[in-house]
Amino acid sequence: MNKLLAGSIAIAMFLIAGCGARGPKSASSAEDIAGTTWFSNFGGPLYFQFFEDGTMRASSNRELVEDHPQGISKFWFEGTQLFLESTHQGHCDEDAVGIYEVHLLENGNLRFVASEDECAGRATRFQGLVDGEITSEWEPVP
């Protein structure tokens, strides 16, 4: 009888622990992240915005984020993976593709986790990498 009770308690604790360890929700479409200007100050101020037409624009100046022709990139989702392609010269070679998971955090921020990126500068900036640890959260700008 004690083994049955101990087994039941162990199963219940396993199920409870599993429910608490789900983690953040992952974005899976442009609608999950489009229409908001996002901000991070890692490495200096950077604002960006995703648009539902599959473009992303970035700038160090908030007023230019929607009109910045040098800051345009293309993006698309395959499942929960965000593919981001540079379409301009800058930190990345033209056509350099990065693959990320975009975590939608409970506090309303975003966190990028690189699966693969040919552009080390972009991967460092988006993730806020410090000694290999992800430190950045991107905040929505009201």
**Boundaries of domain holding 87:** 24-140
DSSP three-state, residue 48: strand
pLDDT score for 93 = 76
Whether 125 is covered by a domain: the verdict is yes
Give pLDDT tens digits along the chain (142 positions): 555 544 444 444 444 444 445 678 999 999 999 999 999 999 889 888 999 999 988 888 877 676 665 567 899 999 999 999 986 656 677 778 999 999 999 999 999 999 999 888 889 989 999 998 999 999 999 8
**CA-based nearest residue to 70, from 88, 46, 94:** 88
Whether 15 is covered by a domain: the verdict is no
pLDDT score for 71 = 64
| Count of structural domains, the chain | 1
- What is the CATH classification number for the domain harbouring 74? 2.40.128
Whether 16 is covered by a domain: the verdict is no
Whether 13 is covered by a domain: the verdict is no
Q: How far is CA 64 from the centre of its chain?
A: 22
pLDDT score for 13 = 44
Taking each continuous run of H as one helix and of E as one strand, the counts in the chain are 3, 11
Whether 63 is covered by a domain: the verdict is yes
pLDDT score for 61 = 80
What is the identity of the amino acid at 42?
F
Structure token digits, residue 78? 């395959």
DSSP three-state, residue 126: helix
Q: How far from 101 is each of 38, 44, 126, CA to CA, in Å?
A: 16, 23, 11
Whether 7 is covered by a domain: the verdict is no
Q: Write down the pTM of the prediction.
A: 0.77
Through-space distance between the first and last CA atoms of the chain, rounded to whole angstroms: 59
